[in-house]
Every structure is written in structure tokens, then in C-alpha cells.
Amino acid sequence: MATISDVAKVRRERGSLSRRDTLGTGVRLASAWARVWAQPQWAGLLALLIYGAVAEIHRPLLVATSAAYYNYLADAFLHGQLWLRQVPPQTLDLVLYHGHYSLYWGPLPSLLLLPLVALFGVGFSDVLTTAVVGALNVALVAAILQAATARRVVRLTRRQRGLLVLFFALGTVQLPLAPQGRVWAIDQLVGFACVALAYLAALRYRGWWAFGLTGVALAGAVLTRDHLVLAGVWPAWYLAREHWGWRWRGLLARLGTAAAPIVGAVGLLGGYDWLRFGNALNNGIPYHQMNVAFRADYARYGFFSLHYVPINLYYQYVFYPLPLRPESTMGGSLLLMSPVFVLAGVGVVRGWRQGSTWALVSSIVLVNLPILLLMGTGWMQYGPRYTLDFTVPLLLLTALGVRRVPHWTLALLTVVSIAQFSGSALPYLHLVSWLR
């Protein structure tokens, strides 16, 4: 006959098994969810739904903000003008030259918006624009990791790829930028897309197509945020290595194919600025209507200076913006807010003998140099938004480190990153809206 202690023991064992089954089911569901994000089409769709929902909570998704400047430049282009034909509701950061308004940012986003502005006018929602481009970026990251794994540049499981994509979508500065609208977010998101397309073209194609498409994508980066061309160090290294067996004349010809559209983009920018300001090297920065907070520093140190390096380093790598306060709009530590990127350090240590590692490091450092010298930290922002400029090579470097740690470590760091961004992105968007 069973004793009371035997019955209690059986109940404890059943309870333990039940808890293990529940935990196992949760782990399997989380793993399946992560693997969904590894697929570019699903990752992009899920990101679009999330960004659209966040944007709609913050403000109407289909209503333009007061800083939809690219729409106004597209309208000017459609009417054969380089100066804005209509003046936006606000003019902060616009260029004012001889009584005419223009933009100092590159013109590519406006060129892409031409058909939409032609159909819907300058009132086309820039919030919808950033949500769609942000979702495209998530899909591109998934495609890059997929192609990099297939090419053995990195070695990731499908679950690891999915976690990295999920981390990028919801645990980096991508999250507060994508539902935001406004010229500043569009500029960065389109620039990221161009760099991502360059990396994807280098990984996915071979021969003339690889060089040509990579060059076209980097030309797009030049026409959006010109310093992003420096992120092309890794694609250039990778393409040269993959085609090293060719005769040197053939390799040089293909490198010339990649360089041609980039040189053309530089020439186009120079001509655009010459027509506006009579100087191919002047993009309008001296005439832009900067916030009063920057005027004293600009008058003393200019737009780029070593003077800005300490403050930019602080707000990009040290400062922690939580709990939210007015200073939180200055930025935030890249590694504290997105701790998954700590694994990039593991990637460097483990891959220090590989040329690919140092090409990625070079891409990151070169893109970051002008950011550190720049007047202003990216204010107003939540997180270090300028780091998005070098996030593509940083993600690949992180992927090199991911294979050296257990799956649960990546999952935990992803959850921490998402918690810090998703928990504060919405109040941050309200704070920015109120301050602006």
C-alpha cells in the first residue's frame, strides 16, 4: 500500500515534469518565433506591422509631419527647380540662401519619392515612408545574414540568424527611427538601405554583376549620406578576394565597373551644389537654419572639429538614457543599450587573423570618424542614432562572435536590448514630438 510520502513524491515528480514540459514548450515556441525572423520576407512584413502600429499609436500613420522636407524637394524637382517651391510648416535645419530654401542632405530620398509626391503631393506621409523603409532594412539584414551564411563568411544557425534580425529590428536605434517620419530619420534609413544593398550584392552575385550592383548601391549611399561610401571597404575587399584568381587586368576592369557609378554620384552631387551655391564643394551647411543651441559652437569650431570628439564619444558609448529625462534625447551608449553588439568584440578576438575581420573593423572605424567629429550628437534621439551608419558591418562582425557563445546568451542579450528600446521608444517619440 502506498504511503503518504510516496503519494507526495509522485505529485512532486509530476509537478516537476509539468514545469519542464511548460518550459520546453516555451523554449520551442520562442525558437520557432526566432526562426521566422530569419526569413527576409517574413521579417520585413512583421517589422512593417510593428513599426506601423507604433507609429499609429504615436501619431496618425498616414499624416505627414512638419519636417517632411524630402517631399518638398521632390515637389521642386517635379517642377524643374532645385529650391523648394513650397515652404514646409517648419524650417529647422533647412538651408536658406538668397531668400530660397533647400536641403543640405543628399537628394536621393527625394528622387525615390518623386512618383509618390506626384500622385499625393507634399502631404504624403513621411511616417509611412520611414515605416516602409525601416521594414525593408530588416528584410535586407535577414537577406545579408542568409547570404553570408551560405557563402561561409559567417556560420550561423537559422535560429541565430533570426535572433540577430529580431535584435536589429527591435533592439537597436532602428526601432525609434522607423516609426518617426521626419527628414532626419528618412536620411539615415535610406542610407542604411543603400549600404545593406551593397553588402548583399557583393555576397549574392558574381562577376560583372557583383561589382556593378555593389557600385550602384554605394553610389546611392553617396547621394544620401556621402560618408557612407566608406562602408564599402568590406565589399571591396570581399569582391577582390573572391575574384583574385582572375588576371589582374580583368580584376581592375571590374573594380572600375564598381567605381564608375560612385564617381558619377560624386560628380552629380558636385553639379547639384554648384547649381545651387556656385561651389561644387558647398552643400549648404554654412547657410542652414540650425537650432540656437548649436550656434555658438558652430561660430567657434565649425561643423567638423576635434572639439566635438569627447562629447560624441560620451553620448555614443558611455551615457545611459534611462530613466527618460530631457538629457535622454542626447543619445545613449551603443553597448549598454544594444548589448548584443558586445559579441562583435568576441568576433574580433576570434577572427583577428582573418582579412574579413579587419575589413569589417576598417569599415566601422572609417564611417565613425566623421560622426565623432560632427557638431551635435544626433540630438534629438533615443539611443546613438548615428551608429546606424555602420551597423551593417557591425552586425557581420557580431555574427562572427555569435557562433562562439551559447544560444541562450544571444537570446538573453537580445531580450535585454529589446526591453530597453521597446519599453522607451514610445514615450521617447512623444517627448521628441513635444520638444519639436
Segment 399-421, tens digit of pLDDT:
999 988 999 999 999 999 999 99
Q: Which three cell numbers stand for residue 172?
A: 537597436
pLDDT in the model for residue 248? 73
Confidence of residue 19 (pLDDT cuts 50, 70, 90): low
Cβ atoms of residues 378 and 384 within 8 Å: yes
129, three cell numbers: 515612408
Question: 3-class SS at 156?
Answer: coil
Q: At how many degrees (to 10) do helices 126-150 and 391-402 cross? A: 40
Handedness of CA 420, 421, 426, 429 (dihedral sign): positive
**H or E segment to which residue 275 belongs:** helix 248-277
Mean of pLDDT over the chain: 91
By mean pLDDT, which of 174-178, 245-249, 276-280 is the weakest?
245-249
The answer, yes or no, to whether residue 7 has pLDDT greater than 60, is no
Q: What band does 256 get if pLDDT is binned at 50, 70 and 90?
A: very high
Q: Is a pLDDT exceeding 60 seen at residue 94?
A: yes
- The residues, any chain, with a CB within 8 Å of residue 218's CB and separated by 6 or more, are 194, 195, 198, 228, 229, 231, 232, 235, 258, 261, 262
> pLDDT tens for residues 63-90?
999 999 999 999 999 999 999 999 999 9
**Predicted local distance difference test score (pLDDT) of residue 300:** 95
Task: Examine the pLDDT at 23 and tell me if it is beyond 60.
Answer: no
- Which pLDDT belongs to residue 428? 59
User: Rounded to whole angstroms, how far apart are CA atoms 160 and 157?
Assistant: 5
Q: Which residue has the higher pLDDT, 150 or 253?
A: 150
Is the confidence at residue 105, as pLDDT, over 80?
yes
Residue 57 pLDDT:
86
User: What pLDDT does residue 380 have?
Assistant: 86
Quote the crossing angle between the two packed helices 182-204 and 69-78, to the nearest 10°.
80
pLDDT value, residue 5: 66
- Identify each DSSP E strand in 370-413 by its residue range: none
Q: Over 80: is that where the pLDDT of 189 sits?
A: yes
* pLDDT score for 435: 45
Q: Which of the four pLDDT bands, split at 50, 70 and 90, describes residue 436? A: very low
pLDDT recorded at residue 4: 65
Whole-angstrom distance, CA of residue 155 vs CA of residue 279:
48
DSSP 3-state of 337: helix
Average pLDDT over residues 102-122: 98
Mean pLDDT across 286-299:
92
pLDDT at 8 over 80: no
Rounded average pLDDT over 208-217: 96
Considering the chain, what percentage of its residues have pLDDT values greater than 90?
79
Confidence of residue 18 (pLDDT cuts 50, 70, 90): low
pLDDT surpassing 90 at residue 30: no
**Rounded distance between C-alpha atoms, residue 170 and residue 299, angstroms:** 38
Task: Give the pLDDT of residue 58.
Answer: 79
In the three-class reduction of DSSP (H, G, I as helix; E, B as strand; rest coil), residue 97 is classed as: strand
Given a cut of 70, whether residue 142 has pLDDT beyond it is yes
At residue 122, the pLDDT reads 98
End-to-end distance of the chain based on CA atoms, in angstroms? 77
Please give the average per-residue pLDDT across 155-165, as a whole number: 96
Which band of pLDDT confidence, cut at 50, 70 and 90, is reported for residue 246? low
For the entire predicted model, the pTM comes to 0.92
pLDDT at 26 over 60: no
For residue 88, what is its C-alpha cell?
A: 514646409
Local confidence band at 11 (pLDDT 50, 70, 90 cut-offs): low
Q: Which of 21-25, 76-80, 207-211 has the lowest mean pLDDT?
A: 21-25
